[in-house]
Amino acid sequence: MMKSRKWLSVLLSAAMAGALMTGCGSSSASTSSAGSSAASSSTSGTASSSASATESASAEASSEAASSSASSDTETVAAVSSTSSGSAKGALKGVKLSFATTALFAPFTYYDTDGTTVIGFDIDFEKALQDYLGFEIDGDTQVMDYSAIATSLAQGQVDFGMAALCATDERKEVMNFSNTYCDSGQVVMINKETSPSEITDIDTLVSGDYTIAVEKGTCSHMYCTNNGVPADRLQVHDTITTAYESLEQGKVDAVIQDGPNANYYVENTPDTKLEVVGDEFNQGQAPYAIAISKEACERVPGLQEDFNKAIQALIDDGTFDELKAKWLD
């Protein structure tokens, strides 16, 4: 099992503009022992103006500063807009926003032992953002699976979502994203009793004739597809929960999954046969950010920028590190 986890705090001088015409279908979804999901349907998006895209393109310059933490597999990234300044504290007072998450990706969002309360890093981080910006949640928090969150955001049925959501290129075509606050790579998981001993890392897995389980539409799924793993070697699951079950039962040779969730599963699942092998790979390809519907950004001018400022403020005042220590270290 991979125990070392490195964190990287990065100050970027450019914020992601709301009109980036990019996209991927990855969700970086995952599991908790009591996870459940709901459904929603198809996609649509409202393109932002070309002026906004030009402004975003002209603002790209970044610098990095490292800070370490010994026990995490992700990299934390703080981003600051170079075109905006000043506090956003209380900027959304009186605004109501609908919110969605999954409860499928521990330790970021998952069900507590009561089976009904959703807890995790993203849940506490959302509450901190809410306290800082002053907005209210419109109705109840909507718990649904990753595909439902993506389509609901694209259609403007949900204002924003947090669930270790990847700010991928394809998604940016139909929704906006805040600055990245965490960046994960993928890892290989095997069954200690049934997986071939030759599988020791991603290279031996991909180059061999082994069956791999992945969650549909995730960065792991995309990695396999983009690196020539044939369809007859892929077992594609609707949720990572069933992918783990398949490996536990020896029905596949390996699972590829985001590092934080894979390690959480191994460390917190009693009597599991699974372990992580090799180093984390595909780093920088699973950038977690707040997903914001384009409709909400039109309805609430400055919404995306306010989220970016709030993320930075919570990093600067130590709130982010407190939550990281509670949930991720």
Indicate the helix (H) or strand (E) that contains 127. Answer: helix 121-133
Indicate the helix (H) or strand (E) that contains 309. Answer: helix 303-316
* Residue 101: inside a domain: yes
Q: What is the dihedral of CA 304, 111, 27, 153, to 10 degrees?
A: -40
* Residue 82: inside a domain: yes
Q: How confident is the model at residue 20 (pLDDT cuts 50, 70, 90)?
A: very low
Residue 78 gets the label, from left (phi > 0), alpha (psi -120 to 50) or beta, of beta
Q: State whether 196 and 264 are in the same domain.
A: yes
Q: State whether 149 and 267 are in the same domain.
A: no
Residue 299 near residue 169 (C-beta atoms within 8 A): no
The mean pLDDT of the chain is 79
* Residue 229: inside a domain: yes
Q: State whether 291 and 178 are in the same domain.
A: yes
What phi and psi values does residue 174 have, to the nearest 5 degrees?
-125, -5
Q: State whether 297 and 172 are in the same domain.
A: yes
* Residue 29: inside a domain: yes
**CA–CA distance from 30 to each of 77, 107, 170, 239, 243 (Å)?**
21, 9, 20, 7, 10
* Residue 268: inside a domain: yes
Encode pLDDT of 214-252 as tens digits. Answer: 998 788 998 999 999 999 999 999 889 999 999 999 999
Q: What is the dihedral of CA 252, 265, 144, 289, to 10 degrees?
A: -110
Encode pLDDT of 133-166 as tens digits. Answer: 999 999 999 999 888 899 999 999 999 999 999 8
Mean pLDDT, to the nearest integer, of 242-266? 96
CATH number, domain with residue 297: 3.40.190.10
Structure-token pair, residue 264 = 């959480």
Looking at the structure of the chain, the number of domains it has is 2
Q: What share of the chain is helix, strand, coil (3-state, %, to 5)?
A: 30, 20, 50
Residue 202 near residue 254 (C-beta atoms within 8 A): no
| Look-up of token digits 């992918």 | 243
Mean pLDDT, to the nearest integer, of 199-217? 95
* Residue 108: inside a domain: yes
Q: State whether 166 and 111 are in the same domain.
A: yes
Domain that holds residue 140: 11-183+286-327
Q: How confident is the model at residue 302 (pLDDT cuts 50, 70, 90)?
A: very high
Q: Amino acid identity of 100?
A: A
What's the predicted TM-score (pTM) here?
0.69
Bond from prior residue into 270 cis (ω within 30 degrees of 0):
no
Q: State whether 167 and 217 are in the same domain.
A: no
Q: State whether 36 and 107 are in the same domain.
A: yes
pLDDT at 86: 77
